[in-house]
Structure 1
Amino acid sequence: MDFILLLIRRPLWEELERLVRNTNDPMICIGDFNAVLSAEDILNGVAISEQETQDFVEFMNASHMLEAPSCGLFYSWSNKGLSSLRICSRIDKVVIIDSMLELFPEMMVKYQPCGISDHTPLVVTFPPASQVKGRPFKFLNMLDDDRGFLDVVTEAWRTANDHHHMKKVWKGLQTVKRALKNLQSTHYSNAHGKVEDIRVQLQMLQNDRAMNDDSQLHQEEKELINSLRHWSNVEDSIVRQKARIDCMTKGDANTKFFFTAVKIRQARNRIGMLQNAQGETLTSTEAITEELVKFYKVLLGSYAPRLTAIGLTTLRAGPVPTLDTRASLIHPMTSEEIDRALHGIDDNKAPGIDGFNAFFLRKCWHIIKQDVYSGEMEFFLKCLPS
């Protein structure tokens, strides 16, 4: 894109940002932005530079707007070219201010087939909020700051026993999960509500006319401020971890944005629309659930009549590992290898299906490592040829 054109458009982004900042009402911006947010938003054609996306990205960050959850097609525009000459991009978008998801938590944008047009129609739906079932357990990193955290884990882990080492590890994690769920619900549930309640109490106290001369009120103010800081940090840690956004500065102004980012993630992970083999569009939770179960029941027990094999001649013509290299792949596992593997995982990586992340494993490694060593080695010794 021409640099002069970028300069001409910049005042438009600045004016749009001012418009968003000066309104307290829910806002939705929909249409052809003639710009993309990342290189993934374009297929074929001239490569997109960071400079070309910078203004759009800065507008989204500064105005705390987010792209609405979507389904259907990905690209919204095409030049209708043939073969490799076809260029597609996602320049048509629906971006929303954070309060939109508070009002319509299940809003969805469907990218429809474009027909004879170059652009895809965008259909925005606002279905009523469905009843949310219990969410799977996910370890919250801020529990590490609780004084009783390691005691809870130690006590729970001790109660798990089995003569199979790997099964003992599984039982231990299940027991710890139940104990930590209880710790979270007992001491850290509804952190956002606690922050709001304490903030209201503090405001009422500071509005008291006797505030300046009453030492007892001074002490109450100090305690409320300390409590507000504590619960604000708890809330900030929880929403940052759920939103997986670490690049922004801390502060009250960002809390609402983090909550919205969490809702965006949840909306993207939710299957709100599904097309079955007959081309019918399913939107109800019951119909989608039934279709998914039916699909996997058909797969269960089925097999492919034919699989494409790897050509051994081609395979052997390439680099072949030496005998020593092959032997090293099946040598007995050591505890040092397990340690290196664990410490090579970033704290912010998504947790496993049991809900525990690498941060938890590292913090509790001195409690669980001997059982994990035994379980891993038992598994590999049984799988490797004797």
Structure 2
Amino acid sequence: MGDFNCVLHTGERVGSAVRLSEIQDFQNCVSKCSIEDAKSSGNFYTWNNKQQGDNRVFSKLDRVLINQAWSSQYPNTEVSFRNEAYFDHCPGVITVYPQLAVGRKPFRFFSIWQEDPRYRDIVTSAWNGVYQGTKMFQVVQKLKNVKITLKVLNTEGFGEIEVKEYKASQTLNTLQTALHLNPSHGELADREKVALQEYNLAHKAYLSFLAHKAKVDWVKGGDDNTALFHRSIRQRQIHNTIFSIKDMHGNWTSDPAQVLDAFLEYYK
């Protein structure tokens, strides 16, 4: 952590252009060290030159960079960049918050469900249910029925996706090892063909599941992507968590109940 005297991305300076040549070494260092910014709040720009008018420059020079080991050990780490007062750099306060209670998970649609041959029929059947009431009430009930149906489909056809993918991989690996020892064995070749199809389906489902949770669509299939997906999912979970908030009275709080109250008060 500290003043790196260099921005990491082109959007981290206002008032003066960022040249790609000046950030390339820093970006390469961050990439090779497999580190990333800790979750932060408060001021985005952490330094300014204190000049006036068009000569004022704001930059993000200070940051806290962490590796995967730190993220795993202290997932609830947050750095808050405060106002700089008469200094040119903003002070950063690092806090490791206690583990928060996990709330109810929202319903999510996974595109892999559409690969199931039953998908269209069961969704159509669920949507065509007859309900009494206003049009909006009927739509809400139809959506609820579709949600329940898709949850059942997920449990029956796509439950324990990671376990299924692993078992399919092990089965395929065993058969291919046996086939290499006995290349002319016709039955092994047939079983290997079926196992390969089952693995491709299981692996596709697993990657689709991870991609959806990580919300990345710029990576295509492949074994090397699973670590990336897991890391991206972890990053999203951390950055979507609100550890502290300033209420309408200007007071900061990190108490989970008070954070919730601050949200409710703001949106009343």
TM-score by length of 2: 0.79
Query: 2:109 & 2:160 partners in 1: Cα distance?
Result: 16
Partner of 1:136: 106
Quick check: 2:37–2:63 contact (8 Å CA) kept in 1? yes
RMSD: 3.4
Aligned equivalents of 1:175 and 1:97: distance in 2?
43
Gaps of 5+ in 1: 1-29, 301-386
- 1:158 shift after superposition: 0.9
Q: Give the 3-state SS of the residue equivalent to 1:232 in structure 2.
A: helix
Identity over aligned pairs, percent? 26
Amino acid at match of 1:294: E
Change (3 A) 1:189 1:99: farther
Pairs within 5 Å for 1:278-357: 278-296=249-267, 300=268
Residue 96 of structure 1 aligns with an amino acid whose one-letter code is I
- Is 1:257 matched up with 2:228? yes
**More RCO (CA 8 Å, sep 6+):** 1
Deviation at 1:78, TM superposition (A): 1.3
Say whether the 8 Å CA contact 2:176–2:192 is kept in structure 1: no
Please state if 1:90 is matched with 2:63: no
Total equivalences in the alignment: 266
Answer yes or no: is the 8 Å Cα contact 1:104–1:128 preserved in 2. Answer: no
Counterpart Cα distance in 1 of 2:145 and 2:29: 46
Distance in 2 (CA, whole Å) between partners of 1:103 and 1:224 is 38
Take 1:122 and 1:49, find their aligned partners in 2: how far apart are those partners? 26
Name the counterpart of 1:145: 115
Describe the superposition over 1:69-99 as per-residue Cα deviations: whole angstroms up to 9, x where unpaired. 2112211111122344321111222333345
What secondary structure, in the 3-state scheme, does the structure 2 residue paired with 1:246 have?
A: coil
Distance 1:125 1:224 in 2: 49
Amino acid at match of 1:269: N
**1:120 counterpart (76, 90, 105):** 90
- 1:175 maps to 145
> Residues 110 and 122 of structure 1 are in contact (CA less than 8 Å); yes or no, is this contact kept in structure 2?
yes
| Larger CA Rg, structure 1 vs 2 | 1
Change (3 A) 1:164 1:230: same
Amino acid at match of 1:109: V
Q: Which residue identity lines up with residue 231 of structure 1 in the other structure?
A: A
Partners of 1:63 and 1:239 lie apart in 2 by: 24
Q: Out of 175, 178, 181, which is 1:212 matched to?
A: 181
- Unaligned runs of 5+ residues in structure 2 are none
Match of 1:78 in 2: 48
Picking from 219, 225, 232, the partner of 2:203 is 232
